[in-house]
Amino acid sequence: MDLDETTGTAAPPGAEPAHGLAELFPTAYRQGRATTVPRIVVKPAPLPPPASALVPEPEDLDAALAPVLDVLAGRRLAALTGAGVSTDSGIPDYRSPGSPVRQPMTFQQFCSSEAFRRHYWARNHLGWRHLRDAKPNAGHAALAALEARGLLTGLVTQNIDLLHVRAGSRAVVHLHGRYDRVKCLTCGAVIPREQHDADLVALNPGWRERHEHVADVEVAPDADVVLESTAGFRITDCACGGVLIPDVVFFGSNTPRERVAAATAIVDDAAALLVAGSSLAVMSGLRFVRRAARAGHPVVILNRGPTRGDDLATVKVDVGTSRALPYLAARLPDLAP
């Protein structure tokens, strides 16, 4: 589907208009030169399940998680986590049942023009501190405790929020990158997000203060803030003149090979795979479920709502991770010497 003049993306039905071309390229549209703006084919993001797919939390946690304990006891685990682990820390997700339909900006859009980059950075400039200020919850702490006891080979996360690290986890692979770094697409330089933020503040005095009320209303999972107009926002490039981009995997782009290799090693070194808070809607996570299943290793999925890996799961429980993970951490026995 080609982009049209109003949306700029092939947004799914029901989605809010995202990254609109008329707003991104106002001069071209005023002068009747709409054909000069980038024309990009965008694959729609997977739709979240309807709210009706949400199963009530189990009242009897002992009964719900007994099969999980039976499968995991005595095995060294690999953990794979998604956005559902961080929702109780105040960070929304993309695909839990009933979530708003969103169309995140793609890597191709970001690289295609300064207008897209301005739009992205203006919105992220308001929202990224939401990730910085979030605190780990009981689910994060439980996984760190399991690792400290030697029950985890490591943790593979699709989240960019660093909450696993803050909770004390050490062997962590951030499949989709991390929010606290910015990198140059030309020279490869890595810049702390705090430093980049200070540069944007200097270029846009008063911007954050004028829009602070927006940041309090709706922040997307990738720290994008719903903001109608980003006209006038100024961005900065690398000292080498290259384009600066968050050190995260954009929708539609590939996970770096070295991260996939590191995550694969964690999964292969384990005797079972525990999936927590992921719908497995994208291949970056689903591939590890398929790999563990092919190896004959048990796969346990703890998630509120259906996942793409349900048919491969040895046990699937519709339960919140902030309840289930501390329960398991308190009851899984130490491994035999």
| Low-confidence residues of the chain: pLDDT under 70 | 1-53, 94-103, 213-229
Predicted local distance difference test score (pLDDT) of residue 102: 62
Domain positions in the chain? 60-331
Annotated binding site: 184, 187, 238, 240
Query: Side-chain half-sphere of 317: how many Cα atoms within 13 Å?
Result: 27
Predicted local distance difference test score (pLDDT) of residue 89: 95
Predicted local distance difference test score (pLDDT) of residue 44: 52
Predicted local distance difference test score (pLDDT) of residue 96: 60
Residues 101 and 317: their CA atoms lie apart, in Å, by 25
Predicted local distance difference test score (pLDDT) of residue 56: 84
Catalytic residue chosen out of the listed positions 176, 196, 211, 297: 176
Predicted structure pTM score: 0.82
Predicted local distance difference test score (pLDDT) of residue 7: 36
Q: Which two tokens stand for residue 55?
A: 């199963």
Q: Is 176 a catalytic residue?
A: yes
Distance linking the first and last C-alpha atoms of the chain: 58
Predicted local distance difference test score (pLDDT) of residue 57: 87
Predicted local distance difference test score (pLDDT) of residue 15: 41
Predicted local distance difference test score (pLDDT) of residue 3: 31
CATH topology assigned to domain 60-331: Rossmann fold (3.40.50)
Annotated binding site for Zn(2+): 184, 187, 238, 240
